[in-house]
Amino acid sequence: MAEGMLLEKLEVGGFASNCYIVASEKTKEGMLVDAGDDADRIMKRLEAHGVKLQLIVLTHGHLDHVGAVRKIKEATGAKLAAHADERLAGASERQMVSSQFGIKLDAPPPPDMLLRGGDTIKVGDLSFQVLHTPGHSPGGICLVGHGVVFTGDTLFNYGIGRYDFPGGNLHMLMDSIHTRLLTLPDNTIAYPGHGPETTIGDERQGNPFLKPGVQEEGLM
């Protein structure tokens, strides 16, 4: 990870989703990568770091990654960015989660910025490239820069994302992983949407879901 970048992972909500605070140590301008739940806790950490939140970037629109977006956006004025092909969780998904798990999440607002693969996101003196990585969802993205990649629910520590949700596709997921993530340097630190971080090299060598012929269901 590059010097001059502040990075903190918060595990939030009943689905143990990862929310990442990413900011320039020099300018304190920053972004959130996913904001699944626990808005007040996230806000307290932003305040503790003195981060001036510019952006909330969604790796995808599933409820466990967007539940705190509305409250944080309204409190900070940060812009919301998501891929142009992504559908953010709607009323039916929120009702399902509420009835099955007893978890109530706010509806996310519409994005202010529609992203596409190859776009560049800048916060302060930090810069990240958008990788379009469909498969877990149609508009799933990863963000790469400064020696790290935020992989959302595309790639986990020794796991891959589910592809059996609406809009999921195994062929597209595996293509996204092999052509966009495994082409990164081995020492790139991967920060996933759930679970601990890993490296691209470790996943290339040891992820059992990436072995030839394996078509197992992922985890999240």
Residues in the chain, pLDDT under 50: 216-220
Query: pLDDT tens digits for 40-58?
Result: 999 999 999 999 999 999 9
**Which tokens sit at 25?**
């140590």
Domains in the chain with CATH codes: 5-210 (3.60.15.10)
**Which tokens sit at 152?**
């959302």
Q: What distance in Å separates the CA atoms of residue 160 and residue 156, rounded to the nearest whole number? A: 5
pLDDT reported for residue 211:
83
pLDDT reported for residue 88:
84
Give the full edge-to-edge strand order of the sheet including 148-152.
120-123, 126-132, 141-145, 148-152, 189-192, 198-199
Q: What distance in Å separates the CA atoms of residue 131 and residue 114, rounded to the nearest whole number? A: 13
pLDDT reported for residue 106:
72
pLDDT reported for residue 32:
98
Which is nearest to 27 in space by CA: 117, 127, 148?
127
